[in-house]
Amino acid sequence: IKKNYLYIFFLLMVLVFLCFFYFSHYGNNIFSFSWSEKNDFVGYKNDGDDESIEKSHDLIQKEGESLNERGVISSPEIKTLAGSPSEAEVVRKWEESRGRFDEESLKDYAGYDLATLQSLANNGDIKAMIALARLYVSDQYSAEYGVKYSMPLLKKAAAYGSSYAIEQYAIQYEADHFVNGSSDRNTLLESLSWNNVAALRGDLYPNNSATLDLRRKKVQLSSEDIQFIRKKSEEIYRQLQHERHVMGLGDFDNSVPPEVQKYFSYLENYMSDK
């Protein structure tokens, strides 16, 4: 019996020694492997997040809401369809130069009363024009003002250089006819013509939104429709440029930075397919 105990004790000691040897030799590698796997997973997750951000960003623009709602990219590692943070900043500044302000940028005007915004708009402040046009069709003022006041103001903002105002004019034009029960094919073509004026100025956001809206409504445009839109949009452009000259301003600045052109290459334009 004593020999059996000694034998069992000897086996236990050998087992302990083997366990100690195994963990002392492979333990660091095991933990290193786990840490490496964790880092690899984090890296993969970041790559996935970048891809997700790009897809979400693309979807937002295709539904007609503004690299405006895109915000400023703060992380130097994050890239979107607008490119790197520095490229995205170029896009954002170009948008603002076209009177396309995000909600954060408009906050400083949100507290202004109607009279203050009217005064600023009369002095050529495009941001005030956009904020005031919104206020005119808000629940608070729509009964008294509405599109009767907002649409001429948007047209004025368009003459001052805001391609965003052109897009908003098109939206309100179509919405007004819909509410009045007078919406028809001609209404659609007129609205699309206004959108295409923005495209003539290098801003493809409105035509991108219109392309998706036409697809959603399953509306097919004929070659005659496209020719009408092209001719009408050129006519509207000339009218706006004339109004601009009357106000003592020069020709429109239709320049588009390479960073914006790169971003717009991801957008759709029904006019370019015809």
Q: What's the rounded mean pLDDT across residues 63-82?
A: 49
Judged against a pLDDT cut of 60, whether residue 20 lies above it is answered with no
In this prediction, residue 18 carries a pLDDT of 64
Q: What is the 3-state secondary structure (H, E, C) of 244-271?
A: HHHCCCCCCCCCCCHHHHHHHCCCCCHH
Q: Identify whether the C-beta of residue 190 lies closer than 8 Å to the C-beta of residue 169.
A: no
In this prediction, residue 272 carries a pLDDT of 79
**Bridge partners (DSSP) listed for residue 83:** 80
| Range in 35-49, 91-105, 136-150, 238-252 the model is least confident about | 35-49
Q: Identify whether the C-beta of residue 126 lies closer than 8 Å to the C-beta of residue 109.
A: no
In this prediction, residue 103 carries a pLDDT of 83
Distance CA(69)–CA(56), nearest Å, equals 11
Judged against a pLDDT cut of 90, whether residue 22 lies above it is answered with no
Quickly list DSSP for the chain: -HHHHHHHHHHHHHHHHHHHHHHHHHHHHHHHHHHHHHHHHHHHHHHHHHHHHHHHHHHHHHTT--STTT-----TT--BTTBSHHHHHHHHHHHHHTT---HHHHHHHHT--HHHHHHHHHTT-HHHHHHHHHHHTSTTTTTTTTHHHHHHHHHHHHHHT-HHHHHHHHHHHHHHHHHTT---HHHHHHHHHHHHHHHHTT--HHHHHHHHHHHHHT----HHHHHHHHHHHHHHHHHHHHHHHHTT--S------HHHHHHHTTS--GGGG-
In this prediction, residue 21 carries a pLDDT of 52
Helix axes 205-217 and 163-179, enclosed angle (nearest 10): 30
Predicted confidence band of residue 71 (pLDDT cuts 50, 70, 90): very low
Nearest to 101 by CA among 130, 134, 122, 125: 130
Sign for the CA dihedral angle at 114, 116, 119, 123 comes to negative
In this prediction, residue 86 carries a pLDDT of 86
Q: Identify whether the C-beta of residue 185 lies closer than 8 Å to the C-beta of residue 214.
A: no
**pTM of the entire predicted model:** 0.70
In this prediction, residue 107 carries a pLDDT of 86
In this prediction, residue 84 carries a pLDDT of 83
Judged against a pLDDT cut of 50, whether residue 57 lies above it is answered with no
Judged against a pLDDT cut of 60, whether residue 64 lies above it is answered with no
Distance CA(204)–CA(210), nearest Å, equals 10
In this prediction, residue 3 carries a pLDDT of 52
In this prediction, residue 216 carries a pLDDT of 94
Judged against a pLDDT cut of 70, whether residue 15 lies above it is answered with no
Q: For residue range 204-261, what is the model confidence (pLDDT) as tens digits?
A: 999 999 999 999 999 999 999 999 999 999 999 999 999 999 999 999 999 999 999 9
In this prediction, residue 6 carries a pLDDT of 61
Judged against a pLDDT cut of 50, whether residue 102 lies above it is answered with yes
Q: Which residue has the higher pLDDT, 220 or 20?
A: 220
Predicted confidence band of residue 169 (pLDDT cuts 50, 70, 90): very high
Q: Any idea which residue has 């970041």 for tokens?
A: 46
Judged against a pLDDT cut of 80, whether residue 157 lies above it is answered with yes
Distance CA(170)–CA(10), nearest Å, equals 91
